[in-house]
Amino acid sequence: MEIRIERQLSGVAVSVADVIEGYVRSGAVTLGLATGSSPIPAYRELIRRHREEDLSFARARAFLLDEYVGLPRSHPQSYYSVIRSDFVSHVDLADSAVQSPSGDAVDAAAEAARYDAAIHAAGGVDVQILGIGSNGHIGFNEPGEPLDSRTHVGVLAERTRQDNARFFGSLEEVPSQCITQGLGTIREAHHLVLVATGARKADALAAALHGEVTPDCPASVLQLHANVTVIADEAAAAGLYGAEIRAGQTA
């Protein structure tokens, strides 16, 4: 596992964008995209490189990690809409090349299974961007989730609903269910890139990287993956400071 700690948020953005750019420039690539606030500076940096440095996503395709159950695609907070307004609509990544589970499918469990199979049929994800929840979730795999789960319908933890209420008008408007890639599905990606910023993530990040591998901290599955890059700012990395980890260095 490579851990990069950056002093500035801009350094986190550049570092994440560097990894993604390497894949995108190497040819046809399947990206795994996260939503939420953590990857937004990196998406902005990739958009800048697209505009100013000829970085083209024309040969890329992408799969999202998750979606809220009950929100139509047209809802501004559906992850279908969010990833388009935060990233996809600003680059030359074809809209039809970006897949996500349908949050308003009549049979959500069947939709989850269909989506898992679609990722597999596409040959899997080459590089997966991940955020981490303050409770240690990745995707919407909440504490207690089996470490080998497939894409499934999940129930959002109350803490996650509270954390995400900032994107909605009120807590009541935050859906209570999701379709999320499972931990087993996420682990099949060739390269996992976890982005963590802010003090709110420090405890979860320390538990994920230094704690026991346990369903109580879903992000601890990263310890079981052979190709992981963690990119964090100093605040999120506060619990990681050890003998060999210092800001501005990799460990």
For this structure, is 137 an active site residue?
Answer: yes
Rounded least distance, CB 113 to ligand F6R, Å: 19
Report how far apart the first and last C-alpha atoms of the chain are (Å, whole number). 8
Site string for ligand F6R, 59-98 (x = CB under 6 A): ------xx--------------------------------
Smallest gap from residue 75 Cβ to ligand F6R (A): 15
Q: Count Cβ atoms within 10 A of the Cβ of residue 195 and give its class: 0-12 exposed, 13-18 middle, 19 or more buried.
A: buried
Considering the rule CB under 6 A, would residue 222 count as an interface residue with ligand F6R?
no
Site for ligand F6R in 47-66 (CB under 6 A): 65-66
Our CB check for ligand F6R shows the closer of 137 and 191 to be 137
Residue 143 near residue 137 (C-beta atoms within 8 A): yes
| Core vs surface per residue 214-244: b (16+ CB within 10 A) or e | ebebbbbbbeebeebbbbbbbebbbbbeeee
Per the CB < 8 A criterion, the answer to whether 38 and 219 are in contact is no
Question: Using CB atoms, what's the residue nearest to ligand F6R?
Answer: 131
Candidate residues 9, 18, 37, 155; the one interacting with ligand F6R per rule CB under 6 A: 37
Q: Is 4 in the site for ligand F6R (CB under 6 A)?
A: no
Residue 45 bears catalytic tag = no
Ranges assigned E (strand) in 14-59:
29-33
Q: How far apart are CA 78 and CA 44, in angstroms?
A: 20
Binding characters for ligand F6R, 114-153, by CB under 6 A (x = yes) = -----------------xxx---xxxx-------------
Bridge partner list, 99: 63
Annotated active-site residue in 45, 116, 142, 233? 142
- The nearer residue to ligand F6R, 55 or 204, going by C-beta atoms, is 204
Q: Which residues contact 91 (CB under 8 A, 6 or more apart)?
A: 46, 47, 50, 55, 57
Q: Does 112 bind ligand F6R (CB under 6 A)?
A: no
Q: CA 187 to CA 19: how far, in whole Å?
A: 18
Q: Does 35 help bind ligand F6R (rule: CB under 6 A)?
A: yes
Alpha helices in 138-225 (DSSP H): 158-164, 183-187, 202-210
Q: Which is nearer to ligand F6R, 4 or 164 (CB)?
A: 164
Work out how close the CB of 244 gets to ligand F6R at its nearest, in angstroms, rounded to a whole number. Answer: 27
Report if residue 202 touches ligand F6R, rule: CB under 6 A.
no
How many residues in total does the chain contain? 251
Is residue 66 part of the annotated active site? The answer reads: yes
Q: State the virtual CA torsion across 117, 94, 131, 175 in degrees, nearest 10.
A: -70
52 tagged catalytic: no
Question: What Rg value do the Cα atoms of the chain yield, rounded?
Answer: 17
Which residue, 208 or 249, is less far from ligand F6R as judged by CB?
A: 208
Residues known to be catalytic: 66, 135, 137, 142
Query: Site residues (CB under 6 A) for ligand F6R?
Result: 34-38, 65-66, 131-133, 137-140
